[in-house]
Amino acid sequence: MRLRRQRPGRERGVAVITALLLTTLAISIVASLFWQQQVQVRSMENQRLHLQTKWILRGALDWATLVLFQDGVDHRQYTSLDQVWATPLADTRLDQYVERERVEGETFDASLSGSITDACSRYNLRNLGLGKGQLSDSQIDIFERLLRNLQLDTGLARRIATFVAAGLPVTAGEDNDDPAKQVQATPVIGAPVKILEVEDLLTVKGVTLAVVERLRPFVTVLPETTPVNVNTAPAEVLAALVPNMSVSEANTLIVRRKQAAWRETTYFASQVNSESRPLTEGSYAVKSDWFLVDTRIRLDRAALDAQALIHRSPALVAGGGPKVVWIRQY
């Protein structure tokens, strides 16, 4: 009789526990659905923000090409740092220009900043190679002087030149079977590849990340060989162009340059006394055709840092304006 009296109480306890478990399960399912929905909404918002930053980048590059186009029209003979293109764009708020649905209580920030750098103010590593396996001794001498000015191992110059030349296409008329035109030892790991950016130098034996970071402000990689623009080059690169010139002498030239830019290469050659210190023909110029555009965009939670290479040749200025060669996002 006692067992029969206790059974209804036990059944009621099991029923209560079962109800609580079902309620908990239902709440968990509903919460999970709401969480998935919230994640999907936030993902769509992030995609929209990312897409808007790309459109802002596109507008910024259009503005940069317009500035470079107008500068090419106004200054056909020379390129210098006192021209409009060299003025950086300070952090500019774009809130009133970007159309976006606002959420009540949301802090909405949109800003754009950037700058244009003369890519020809840096030493172009592409100059080190004439063709596949063919080195330019005169350019190696210039690069050795640059490494010396940067207090780096000058022995890296020929190794880097070999790496650059190994990745170049075969030049017209070159005999691949001629041993005299082949590099005997290639100090690179794996098969030769075409150099595209400064970071590719890490493939070369002896080049470390510290070396790359030291070189970065002074070297670049462009699609074709280019002279250094003496009107925009830093002292270390300027001194590398002239045999037996110190960095302090180059700084003195830069002070003169700020007062009046060199409008012809003959003016620069006369000031460095090129008769006693012969310059390498074609290694320097007073006008630039290649520019780097750095852009920094902030749009609420989204951020985009990008660098673009723009080509502005005299033919392009006359027939359509500068062209964006590549864009790299960071």
pLDDT interval class at 321 (50, 70, 90): confident
Q: Considering only the top CATH level, what class is 41-121+289-329? A: alpha beta
More confident residue, 269 or 132: 269
pLDDT at 122 over 90: yes
Q: Please give the radius of gyration of the chain, using alpha carbons only, rounded to the nearest integer.
A: 31
Query: For 128-150, what is the mean pLDDT?
Result: 94
The dihedral region occupied by 292, where left means phi > 0, alpha psi between -120 and 50, and beta the remainder, is beta
d(CA 199, CA 327): 16
**Cα separation of 116 and 68, whole Å?**
9
Inform me whether the pLDDT recorded for 131 exceeds 90. Answer: no
Report the pLDDT value the prediction gives residue 180, as an integer from 0 to 100: 41
166 within 8 A of 186, measured Cβ to Cβ: yes
> pLDDT at position 36, please?
73
pLDDT at 52: 84
pLDDT at 185: 39
CB 109 within 8 A of CB 94: no
| 3-class secondary-structure state, position 294 | strand
pTM, two decimals, is 0.81
Residues 99-112: what's their mean pLDDT?
64
Pairing mode of beta strands 323-329, 302-311: antiparallel
Question: Does 177 score more than 50 pLDDT?
Answer: no
The pLDDT, as a whole number, for residue 176 is 46
Distance of CA 111 to the CA centre of its chain: 20
pLDDT at residue 323 greater than cutoff 80: yes
Query: Residue 84: enclosing H or E segment and its boundaries?
Result: none
Residue extents of the structural domains in the chain:
41-121+289-329, 123-216, 235-279
- Contact between 203 and 189 (Cβ < 8 Å): yes
